[in-house]
Amino acid sequence: MRISLDVDKCIGSGSCEMLAPEVFEVGEDGLAEVLDSAPGSEMESKCRSAEESCPTQAIAVEA
């Protein structure tokens, strides 16, 4: 699985960090960053939830 984040779309809502803190973190600049761009399959459910909850559709999860 690959995780990508379009920082140009990110508004720093923090929903991704709340749902998958092992993979996402809101940095000091107020925008999300990816901590692990290739998490294991055990993280798929959390990552998909983060993708779906992103208000600007800045997150993409590829199998």
Q: What is the CATH number of domain 2-62?
A: 3.30.70.20
In the chain, the percentage of residues whose pLDDT exceeds 70 is 100
Residue 62 and residue 4 in contact, taking contact as beta carbons nearer than 8 Å: yes
* pLDDT value of residue 8: 97
60 C-beta neighbours (distance < 10 Å), count: 13
Number of separate helices (H) and strands (E) present in the chain:
2, 4
The phi and psi torsions of 51 (rounded to 5 degrees) equal -60, -45
Arithmetic mean of pLDDT, 10-28: 97
* pLDDT-above-90 percentage for the chain: 98
